[in-house]
Amino acid sequence: MLNSNIMNRKNLSMYVDADSCPVKEEIIQLCQTYSVEMIFVSSYAHVMTLPSSVKQITVDTDKEAADLYIMNHIQRGDFCVTQDHALASLLLPRGAEILSPRGMMYTNENIDQLLNVRYLSQKQRRMGGKTKGPKAFTEEDRRQFISSLEKILAKKEGL
């Protein structure tokens, strides 16, 4: 939970792990409404056309380049949208609010379980087993994301 000193800090930023983010337009609309700076981080292999209000950071195609950029630049009280559980686990201790594109908040209470499921799936694949990928992204996921992000940004504004 953010404290009042963080909430009063000017220039809170929204970092977006943008390479495979399905809710870019929704983030842009809500962040413009609430005047939150947006920083979309992606590899140069993912070309995006974004409004001029969005700061676009292009990193190398190394697997963790976008994650490292976000991790090195995010500050306490900033926000991040990512589907990467490992990145979320690194940002939580830094005091960031992290949201998945499906609207799930990453918290200290749920991150260990999410990482454990990820680990077990990787282990099963290494042993030759098959695992299910993520379920298809739905309009209900999009609505849940919008609702969750709007609650976070409204709380930031004290609404």
| Mean pLDDT estimate for the chain | 87
Look at residue 46 in the predicted model and tell me its pLDDT. 83
Residue 10: per-residue pLDDT: 57
Give the pLDDT of residue 149. 97
Domain segments of the chain as ranges: 4-157
Q: Could you read off the pLDDT of 81-94 as tens digits, one per residue?
A: 999 999 999 999 99
Give me the helices (H) in 4-138, please.
4-8, 24-33, 65-73, 85-91, 111-126
Q: Would you say 87 and 57 are in contact if contact means Cβ atoms under 8 Å apart? A: no
Burial of 149 from C-beta contacts in 10 A (0-12 / 13-18 / 19+)? buried
pTM: 0.82
Confidence at residue 6, expressed as pLDDT on a 0 to 100 scale? 45
Question: What CATH number belongs to 4-157?
Answer: 3.40.50.20
The C-alpha atoms of residue 71 and residue 6 are separated, in whole angstroms, by 18
Say what the pLDDT of residue 78 is. 95
Residue 119, pLDDT above cutoff 80:
no
C-beta separation of 156 from 14 below 8 A: no
Q: How confident is the model at residue 44 (pLDDT cuts 50, 70, 90)?
A: confident
Q: Which two tokens stand for residue 103?
A: 């609207």
Contact indicator for 40, 18 with CB cutoff of 8 Å: yes
